[in-house]
Chains A and B, each alone.
Chain A
Amino acid sequence: MNPFGTFVQLVVDGLAQGSIYGALALAIVLVNQATGLVNFAQGSMAVLGSYIGMTIGNLFIPGVGAILGIIIGILVAVIASLAIGGIVERFVMRRFERAEEDTKVVATIGLLTLITGLVGLIWGFNPTPYPFFFGGSESLRIGDVSISVWSIVTFTTIIALMIVLQILFRGTKLGLGMRAVADNAPSAALSGIRVGGMRMAGWGLAAALGTVAAILLASKSQLTPNNFDGILVYALAAVVIGGLDSPLGAVIAALGITILESLAAAYIPWIGHDLKVVVPFVLVFAVLIIRPQGLFGRRTVVRV
């Protein structure tokens, strides 16, 4: 393969893998926009949704065929996640409504442990293959570069979801209500906005979004209870770099991190595959020092 072909291949692979990080980052941005929190349990909730979808989907496959069964599974996963997100907000997070921000974040870390354990208890910790429409290994060849069908589906799905979210936040009443609640909940209530409802909607939508990412990831590799633990790290890095309030920024940062990481591994010998995980953190440091609100975030000015 010629050097340029290798370069393009690295970028293309990075785009697909980065889409997964980007999707989880989007979910984190969504919760943050609706509640002002960072949800560390975002990944484990997504995995839970995927398992539920897979289990129900597999029940249908003998009766309705593989493709329809998979679609039913995905729909069930998304709906179940909407409900799980809403329920977690209503019955867990709402109890911490008056608590410090740090306490709430610790509560989400508790949820992460709890949900991962629960999933392991029900479905076991062994990897389970997740069915995919296209057979994950099929790919297109353009010159020297091969692009898997999975990559194309993943990338397109995530970009579409990002656009939908950007429109939700900046162009819809629901998005405006969520941002108002995140900004100042008591004040938003004085304008008649139902604070609890907005938070439930934010958590539910974020969980559904995370589940779509988890299904895409699982259909390439496999489903395990800790599928998203490592990915959460990248997603958080993307959110910090892109800006907590910018869906566009989070996705661009996720793609950028992944591409830079694989390029660094391939072209800088002393980094290689062993040290490449350091790349996102170096970027996070740099961004926090130079532009703490993130590359695409809006700066908050506090006037006293």
Chain B
Amino acid sequence: MPQPEGDLLELKDVTAFYGPVQVLEGVSINVPDGGAVGILGANGAGKTTTLRAISGTVRAGGTIRYEGRSIRGFRPERVASLGIAHVPEGRGTLGNLTVRENLMVGAYMRKDRRQVQTDIDFLLELFPNLKARIRSNASALSGGEQQMLAVSRAFMAAPKLLVLDEPSLGLAPSTARTVYDAIARLRKESGISMLVVEQNANLAFSVVDSVTVLETGRSVLTGTTAELRGNDEIRKAYLGG
């Protein structure tokens, strides 16, 4: 296990409520600098809420530390400015803006224009579908293309930590595979840290080094992908037997 002090992101006993309903009862996750961590869990286990607690879109209790200092209670804009890029559930694509404009929105906080263009070129090479539709409105893209755009837009912020909420949601298996292959390449070529929520463990395992399993708002199990592949319960619940 890496030293907790060396972790990029540290969640300890994080709680969250939607109105009177407690959704998170104690989530603890560490993302080491340069590492990639998956969050597995059934519907309603609190995966999305955990991500939202990090990005400041839901009020949370407990400890949320990023680069060693607490970011709990920060507004989403501020969290983003610290280098955390969150691809929300449902992708958050800006439908009335073109593909290119969506990417520029991703780069909104950046001042290094030349590097921005280099990054756009890199992403368009990674996602040729987007290149072909660079001037189309994002709402005209297919579901898979929108997911690719959402990941690309987040990457355009040049973040230290990419937070992905179920990139495979609503996609055909082969499309989901393509998206994950691209995410894996993104990680390899940029060395960016990732926190990935996923229901499909096989997809998640292709990108992450370790996994935390959530059940009813609590982290119940943490291990490396190798350890969890050998775990019978995990195999039954998330890897299709």
Q: Which of A67-75, A99-107, A185-193, A261-269 participates in binding chain B?
A: A185-193
Residues of A contacting B139 with CB < 8 Å?
300-303
Interface of A is mostly: helix
The interface size of chain A toward B, counting residues with CB under 8 Å, comes to: 24
Residues of B contacting A183 with CB < 8 Å?
94-97
- A26–B97 Cα gap in the complex (Å)? 20
**A184:B94 contact, CB within 8 angstroms:** yes
Q: Is B101 an interface residue (CB 8 A)?
A: yes
Residues of B contacting A189 with CB < 8 Å?
57, 75-77, 80
Q: Is B146 an interface residue (CB 8 A)?
A: yes
Q: Is B221 an interface residue (CB 8 A)?
A: no
**A194:B92 contact, CB within 8 angstroms:** no
**B57:A191 contact, CB within 8 angstroms:** no
Interface residues on B, range: 20 to 34
User: Please, which residue of chain A has its CB at the minimum distance from the CB of B82?
Assistant: A192
**B88:A187 contact, CB within 8 angstroms:** yes
Q: Which of A174-182, A234-242, A271-279 participates in binding chain B?
A: A174-182
**A190:B86 contact, CB within 8 angstroms:** yes
Render B52-89 as a binary contact track against A, CB cut-off 8 A, 1 for contact. Answer: 00010100000000000000000111001100011010
- Among B55, B95, B146, chain A packs the most CB atoms within 10 A around the CB of B95
Residues of B contacting A177 with CB < 8 Å?
105, 108
Render A239-259 as a binary contact track against B, CB cut-off 8 A, 1 for contact. Answer: 000000100000000000000
Residues of A contacting B154 with CB < 8 Å?
190-191
The smallest beta-carbon distance between B159 and chain A, in angstroms, is: 10
**A191:B106 contact, CB within 8 angstroms:** yes
Residues of B participating in the A interface, judged by any CB pair closer than 8 Å = 55, 57, 75-77, 80-81, 85-86, 88, 92-97, 101, 104-106, 108-109, 137, 139-143, 146, 153-154, 157
Sample 12 A-B pairs with CB under 8 A, ordered by A number: A177-B108, A186-B57, A187-B94, A188-B105, A189-B77, A190-B85, A190-B154, A191-B106, A191-B108, A192-B108, A193-B77, A303-B142
